[in-house]
Amino acid sequence: MRWGAIETVTGGHGGPKLRADYRRIAARRGTHIARVAAARKLLTLVYFGLRDGEVRCLARAAEVA
């Protein structure tokens, strides 16, 4: 599971929010730590999406845009 999430984030397929988080963390802590941190954020979004049936932070972003 962790490997798949890290590959998703590394390939840049995590979306604009995860890419921005990755870049912010990478500048401060390094790329390897940023990959794992962004992958963890991705898995958290997946968990809440499966639990609630929607990803709240992405739904709010769509409403604002």
Domain ranges of the chain: 2-64
What's residue 46's pLDDT?
86
47 has a pLDDT exceeding 60: yes
CB 11 within 8 A of CB 4: no
Q: What is the pLDDT of residues 13-29, one digit of tens each?
A: 777 888 888 899 999 99
What's residue 57's pLDDT?
65
42 has a pLDDT exceeding 60: yes
The H or E element containing residue 41 is: helix 31-52
How much is the mean pLDDT over the chain?
81
CB 26 within 8 A of CB 34: yes
What's residue 63's pLDDT?
56
